[in-house]
Amino acid sequence: MEHRTGCLICGRNLVYTGEPRDLACAVCGEVQSTTAACEAGHFVCDRCHSLEALDLIEQFCITTPLEDPLAIACILMRSPAVRMHGPEHHFLVPASLIAAYCNHRGEPGRKGALLGQARARAGMVRGGFCGTHGTCGAAVGTGIFVSLITGSTPLKKQEWSLSNQMTARSLMVIARHGGPRCCKRDSWLAIRTATIFLEERFGITLPVQEAVRCEFSDINRECLQEACPFHASYPTG
């Protein structure tokens, strides 16, 4: 089954109390009375539990205060709405980067408009592009991100160049790790590459977690196992 049990935010066990208490939903922020929360205190309301993938990604990225795009991506990937593979990752990548970037710069008010544009642009990248069009939607997602924060258009000079450089660099990193596709691996690689690009070209350093350990290898039939840098058996040091 392509889902994880427990908390959608951190994966810990849910705890049920005898008396209800008021908690803010970790996705939408609405305060509700509940008897269920995880061991870390996270609560997700029923409406957010049942959101479709794109709605969930957009809503969570609008409300989260996190500045680590990999952490944001990992939280979203734990939702059963986000499948093991699928075109929702084409939006998840730029959305995670937009949320982290705006939060880090103290501009959370920009997120709504940028996320709306990113969602529309990512929707033009069809599922399976990685195998039929010579480009991965996760890599395109990083180009979407840079194009939005720079205001790139087909007539711009530096902005146009930067967004294309971003996609190209992400695509090379993804391609070097080989196929078959894994939307989780490709998304993490793309996001990590984008954070390096941000630091090099914009002087912006996002607080990114040092390592991601995959939680999904047992439900990925095409998993590269020890050849994947995010697999538990990948050699380190």
What pLDDT digit, counting tens, does each position of 42-81 carry?
A: 998 877 876 899 999 999 999 999 999 999 999 999 888 8
Mean of pLDDT over the chain: 91
Asked whether residue 104 falls in the same domain as residue 212, the answer is yes
> Per the domain annotation, does 232 fall within a domain?
no
Asked whether residue 86 falls in the same domain as residue 188, the answer is yes
- CA distances in angstroms from 229 to 81, 174, 211, 223, 225, listed in the order given: 25, 11, 9, 11, 9
- Evaluate if residue 6 carries a pLDDT over 80: no
CA geometry: angle 193, 194, 200, nearest 5 deg: 95
Confidence of residue 18 (pLDDT cuts 50, 70, 90): confident
The total of structural domains in the chain comes to 2
Q: Which of 42, 31, 41 is nearest to 79 (CA)?
A: 42
> Per the domain annotation, does 236 fall within a domain?
no
Q: Which residue reads 């049920």 in tokens?
A: 16
Asked whether residue 89 falls in the same domain as residue 131, the answer is yes
Residue range(s) defining the domain that contains residue 200: 52-227
Q: What are phi and psi of 165, to 5 degrees?
A: -60, -40
Asked whether residue 183 falls in the same domain as residue 93, the answer is yes
Q: Which region holds residue 219: left if phi is over 0, alpha if psi is between -120 and 50, else beta? A: alpha
> Per the domain annotation, does 139 fall within a domain?
yes
Segment 157-173 mean pLDDT: 97
Q: What is the pLDDT of residue 2?
A: 37
Asked whether residue 19 falls in the same domain as residue 102, the answer is no
Q: Which of 106, 93, 185 is nearest to 146 (CA)?
A: 93
Q: What is the pLDDT of residue 35?
A: 87
Q: Please report, in angstroms and rounded to a whole number, the separation of the first and last CA atoms in the chain.
A: 34
Asked whether residue 73 falls in the same domain as residue 42, the answer is no
Asked whether residue 153 falls in the same domain as residue 165, the answer is yes
Asked whether residue 101 falls in the same domain as residue 216, the answer is yes
Q: What is the pLDDT of residue 109?
A: 96
Q: Which of 50, 71, 88 is the last residue of a domain?
A: 50
Asked whether residue 77 falls in the same domain as residue 168, the answer is yes
| The model's pTM | 0.85
> Per the domain annotation, does 87 fall within a domain?
yes
> Per the domain annotation, does 234 fall within a domain?
no
Segment 19-42 mean pLDDT: 90
Asked whether residue 58 falls in the same domain as residue 169, the answer is yes
Q: What is the pLDDT of residue 3?
A: 39
Asked whether residue 35 falls in the same domain as residue 83, the answer is no
Asked whether residue 46 falls in the same domain as residue 57, the answer is no
Q: What is the DSSP letter of 87?
A: T
